[in-house]
Structure 1
Amino acid sequence: MKLSIPLLLSLALHAVLVAGWQLDALKIAKNPETIEIRIAAQVREDVQELPAPPPPKPAKPSASAPPTTTPPREANPVSAPEVLVVPSAKTPASLEAPPPPSAEEWQVASTYKLKNSKRYRNNWGQLVRSMMGTAVEGPGQGMVRFRIEIAPDGTLANIKELWSTSENASKLAWQAIKSLPPLPPTPTGQPLIFERTISFQPYETGWPPSYTLDCLPDPPAFKNPFAWDGKSPQEQARHQAPKRVPADAEASQEKCVTDSTAVTIEQEEGEMKRQTEIYRWGR
């Protein structure tokens, strides 16, 4: 009995707590009721709408005062659209053809035998270039190289174009070659075979060569003593002593100008300018 009474009181207390918790859960689960509020506007019968006031009448001008006229408003000046100024086209560079060799130059060239008739070859190239006309900067400029064979009597025996950098330059060079005037005989009385590059460009026409050291003999050409074609019998390379110069050749060499400063200052100045132009154009 002593233990049953506290147990019953504890069970009753727990039952009350569980019942209260279930009631609170049911209240929360119910959807809340929506409340709708309507506001009705009441119109008063004693208030009447007032009519709109009439528009004001324009005032009549007085007879004494002269009528004033308002000047028309000036329209805002519209700025003219900017016109892009196109720069004028650059004038292409040009260079006139050099003059043809004179009769005196041909007379000297026809007797100049040194360095494979050097003066004759230079005069021939200058004559062809003078007949090609003015060189203008652009796609028409260029160079063309020929291999020429001239007969002993001065007539053109054979010519072949090796290469060219411009079709226009090649065309003009061929036209000039086909219309060449009669040339003097070759200096040696034998066929003259050489190669020549014709420059058809607006900054140079080909510089005249220097004839200062032409009387000196050509240096011996280099020949590799160890070269072998694989077929011919091999021979031991031997050093050859230089050939003795004849007495008459020694006498002629004494007359040859070996010092380049012995010529005129103008020639030296022209040679320096030629070298400067070559290096400046990267040739």
Structure 2
Amino acid sequence: MSLVLHASLLPSWWGKPKPPAPDEPLQVRMMVEPEAKPPPPKPRMAKPSKPRRVTPSKHARPQTTPEPLPPPNPETVPMSMPAPSAPTAEEWQLASTYTPRNGKRYRYAWGQQVRSMMGTAFEGPDQGMVRFRIEIAPDGKLSKVEQLWSTSEAVSRLARKAIENLPPLPPTPSGKPLIFEQTISFLPYETGWPPSYKLDCLPEPLPFNNPFAWNGSSPPDVAKREHRPPPPEGCPPDSTEDTIEEEERSFKRQMEQWRWGR
């Protein structure tokens, strides 16, 4: 009887559904602390490997170490050039008898005489050039000196002092007053080049006259070619013969003047 009673009561509570679970309360976090990460592991230092020996190839070029540059010298010596020697008595004798080209030899000898009395030229503010207009009397005495231009006051002063102390000069070649212009170089790299007397025996060229100019009223002249006579015998004169040495000196002067090949 007890078993039947318990069996009748069992389905009444076994078939009933379970009640739902209560909802969890709402939680709000205002700040979340970051999670601490563990520090990264330290890298291990690699052991130094032994240097490898490189055998040079047969075709490899040997490496040359550049030579060290010399230290700069703060005390540089300025460039200088001593004065040229004065014309000799033989050169003055030849110059006093050289009539072509308005006493060309006499004029050059006069400039060299003045430059030889000016002393050594040093690099710096005292170097320069000066040009004079000179008039020499037939007996060789200086009649007039006029300075045309100068690039240095020191050079002008030295040149004037040398002109005032010139020794007695020979008479002029033509027996007339000799008037010319002369530039005196007081530079540490050149003292003035000697002129060439190669074709001085040829007659003086005629002044330029434009053959194609016409004023519109006079009859036009037909342009004619200038006739130049052949050089006379014995031209060029002695001591200026057309030699290879003279050609070399002339070519060297042109290279130094126009700075060819630099």
What TM-score bracket applies, with the shorter chain setting the length? 0.5 to 0.7
Rounded to whole Å, the distance in 1 between the matches of 2:106 and 2:84 is 17
| Alignment counterpart, residue 218 of structure 1, candidates 204, 210, 213 | 204
| Alignment counterpart, residue 118 of structure 2, candidates 94, 111, 132 | 132
Q: 1:88 to 1:180 in 2, by over 3 A?
A: same
Gaps of 5+ in 1: 1-84, 229-233
Write the letter of the residue equivalent to 1:98: P
Rounded to whole Å, the distance in 1 between the matches of 2:73 and 2:196 is 45
SS in 2 for 1:186: coil
SS in 2 for 1:196: strand
1:177 to 2:160 alignment:
no
SS in 1 for 2:85: coil
Q: CA deviation at 1:237?
A: 5.3
Rounded to whole Å, the distance in 1 between the matches of 2:121 and 2:153 is 13
Q: CA deviation at 1:142?
A: 0.2
- Number of aligned positions between the proteins: 188
Choose between structure 1 and 2: higher helix proportion.
Answer: 1
Q: 1:64 corresponds to which residue?
A: none
Is the contact made by 2:130 and 2:183 (CA closer than 8 Å) also made in structure 1? yes
Is the contact made by 2:197 and 2:236 (CA closer than 8 Å) also made in structure 1? no
Write the letter of the residue equivalent to 1:273: K
What does 1:12-91 align with in structure 2 at a 5 Å threshold?
A: 87-91=73-77
Q: CA deviation at 1:117?
A: 0.5
Rounded to whole Å, the distance in 2 between the matches of 1:185 and 1:262 is 26
1:273 to 2:252 alignment:
yes
TM-score by length of 1: 0.60
Q: String of CA shifts for 1:107-166, please: whole Å, max 9, x gaps.
A: 001100000010000000000000000000000000000000000000001110000001
SS in 2 for 1:254: coil
Q: CA deviation at 1:169?
A: 0.7
Q: 1:142 corresponds to which residue?
A: 128
| Alignment counterpart, residue 232 of structure 2, candidates 250, 253, 265 | 253
SS in 2 for 1:139: coil
Is the contact made by 2:198 and 2:241 (CA closer than 8 Å) also made in structure 1? no
SS in 1 for 2:233: helix
Q: CA deviation at 1:202?
A: 0.4
Q: 1:95 corresponds to which residue?
A: 81
Rounded to whole Å, the distance in 1 between the matches of 2:153 and 2:92 is 30
Rounded to whole Å, the distance in 1 between the matches of 2:220 and 2:160 is 47
Q: 2:16 corresponds to which residue?
A: none
SS in 2 for 1:183: coil
Q: 1:201 corresponds to which residue?
A: 187
Q: 2:221 corresponds to which residue?
A: 238
Q: 1:57 corresponds to which residue?
A: none
Q: 1:124 to 1:238 in 2, by over 3 A?
A: same
1:153 to 2:144 alignment:
no
Rounded to whole Å, the distance in 2 between the matches of 1:113 and 1:89 is 51
Q: CA deviation at 1:227?
A: 8.6
SS in 2 for 1:268: helix
Is the contact made by 2:134 and 2:146 (CA closer than 8 Å) also made in structure 1? yes
Rounded to whole Å, the distance in 2 between the matches of 1:215 and 1:172 is 35
Q: 1:167 to 1:238 in 2, by over 3 A?
A: same
Q: CA deviation at 1:222?
A: 1.1
Rounded to whole Å, the distance in 2 between the matches of 1:262 and 1:103 is 21
Q: CA deviation at 1:219?
A: 1.9
Q: 1:136 to 1:190 in 2, by over 3 A?
A: same
Q: String of CA shifts for 1:216-248, please: whole Å, max 9, x gaps.
A: 1122221346498xxxxx755535867888xxx
Rounded to whole Å, the distance in 1 between the matches of 2:115 and 2:214 is 41
What does 1:89-128 align with in structure 2 at a 5 Å threshold?
A: 89-128=75-114
